[in-house]
Structure 1
Amino acid sequence: MTHFPISKAALFFTAFLGIAISLVSCKTDVPEVYEGTWVVTEATLPGITAMSQTEADSWLGKSFSYNTERAQLAQESCLAPTYKRETMDEETFQSAYRIRRDRLNFEQGDIIRIELQCNDNSLMPGQTLLMQEDVVTYLTWDGVFFMLEKSNNEAAPAVASI
């Protein structure tokens, strides 16, 4: 029986390669930036809207929850939602929403629009999110821009009533 000596360098290389393969093969589910529970903290009425300021202010404190299995939008649950992500430059945003980005505290750079679709194709508040990660997030409804802040309390899905 013949023995072949293994150098320390070869042993370390083999161990390193094994660890690297393990890390690459492990699938980690990193949540999307929009996943979680969000609370309405401000309402901006840029012009003509379907709501009065008083109606819009009644949304303050309401929460909306988003994840891959379920979205809780107002009093409606959306099971197995699908999310579509679109990047909007300044011109596209201005054309679509007729409001300047700085009025909503968006910084320079692209704005991400997240469109949520439920299996019954119904329209409900919270299906459109506008965001710049770590800057600001809004949901739009009836011409009003509702600023959202991510909640730290993820114990249970929020149920909002509007």
Structure 2
Amino acid sequence: MKIIGHVKRFWKFHSLIIGAFGICALTLGCAIKEPAVYEGTWVVTDAYPQGASSVSDSADSVLGSSVTYSAKSARLDQATCDVPVYKSERLNSDDFLFRYNVEQQQIGFTSDDVIEITLSCSSDTSDLGRTLLLQQDAYAVTPSKGMFFRLEKAKI
């Protein structure tokens, strides 16, 4: 008789603990994930020539264009990427100079590390916005057509 009472109490207690763990797992599994810093709509606001060249007329036509990044899709100017794959890499000033052949300060960055986000897409998309260079949340730079374009995040 006493053993049955102990077994009942044991299972009542442990069922409460199992239930609590189940609720925790359920709420953590349904938690809202913060969007990545690059997600959102970015608008081209300025152009920086690469090297000694000047800003061209074709660069002026890009001003005002927008790119939109999300986990499920990306829209680069007028092209759409339905299954985007993002890769992030941190570049120090030497890596940046080697890769882009320009000092970070020439395109509005400080000498701190730059985060390079590259977008891979199964469809052929626009060159504008395929690479995003970030140092702060407020603006980014994207290389395209031998130029660097400053992108500012749209506030919705």
Task: Name the TM tier (shorter chain).
Answer: 0.7 to 0.9
Answering whether residue 31 of structure 2 is matched by residue 41 of structure 1, we say no
Larger radius of gyration between Structure 1 and Structure 2: 2
State the AA in 1 paired with 2:42: W
In the TM superposition, 1:22-61 aligns within 5 A as 27-47=31-51, 53-61=56-64
Alignment partner, residue 139 of structure 1: 142
Q: Flag structure 2 segments of 5+ consecutive residues without an equivalent.
A: 1-19
Aligned-pair identity in percent equals 36
Of 70, 93, 97 in structure 2, the residue corresponding to residue 94 of structure 1 is 97
Structure 1, residues 109-161: CA drift from partner, whole Å, max 9, x if none? 210000001113656321101111236301111221000001113xxxxxxxx
Structure with bigger RCO (C-alpha 8 Å, 6+ apart): 1
Q: Secondary structure at the match of 1:93?
A: helix
Q: CA deviation at 1:45?
A: 0.7
Q: Residues of 2 paired with 1:144 and 1:99: CA distance?
A: 11
Structure 1, residues 23-79: CA drift from partner, whole Å, max 9, x if none? 756522100011000000000112367x96111011111111110111111221000
Alignment partner, residue 148 of structure 1: 151
Contact 1:40 1:149 in 2 (8 A): yes
Q: Flag structure 1 segments of 5+ consecutive residues without an equivalent.
A: 1-16, 154-162
Residues 94 and 135 of structure 1: CA distance in aligned 2, closer, same or farther (over 3 Å): farther
TM-score by length of structure 2 reads 0.76
TM-score by length of structure 1 reads 0.73
| Pairwise CA RMSD | 2.5
Answering whether residue 79 of structure 2 is matched by residue 76 of structure 1, we say yes
Q: CA deviation at 1:108?
A: 3.0
Q: Residues of 1 paired with 2:66 and 2:145: CA distance?
A: 17
In the TM superposition, 1:12-31 aligns within 5 A as 21=24, 27-31=31-35
Structure with more of its chain in helix, by fraction: 2
State the AA in 1 paired with 2:40: G
Residues 28 and 107 of structure 1: CA distance in aligned 2, closer, same or farther (over 3 Å): same
Q: Residues of 2 paired with 1:42 and 1:68: CA distance?
A: 26
Matched residue count: 137
State the AA in 2 paired with 1:145: F
